[in-house]
Amino acid sequence: MKYLYYAILVIMVILSLAAGAAKVSSMQQEIQFFEEAGIGSTWMLPLGCLQIIGGLLAIYRRTRQAGSAVIAIGFLLSTFVIFATGNSIFGVFSLLPVLLCIFIFWRANGLSQSL
């Protein structure tokens, strides 16, 4: 179970950092995505920063719970944007990272105490 936890953690950190970097660097696909949702690119930079901060916090054991919570919030906000575009199938699929971050959050405290 410990190896599964760390595998999920690594995947979520990479996903969060990559998603945040795409938003912060104002990739055309991200701009178009936010405009299709009717939000415009105004909220893209703050959401990207949130995702990067969450990914960085999740790396370190001491801040892992906070980081996983921030990543979950970032992906949940992204999921709302996806639903706003009308893509409900992808929106439901996008809830998976949120659930995985909840798993990390839940396991982080217990695992750090046992190490």
Residue 16 sits at φ, ψ, to 5 deg, of -65, -45
One pLDDT digit (tens) per residue for the chain, 115 residues: 789 999 999 999 999 999 999 999 999 998 888 888 888 778 899 999 999 999 999 999 999 999 999 999 999 999 999 999 999 999 999 999 999 999 999 998 765 444 4
- Give the per-residue SS3 of 44-71: HHHHHHHHHHHHHHHHCHHHHHHHHHHH
53 with 98: CB under 8 angstroms? no
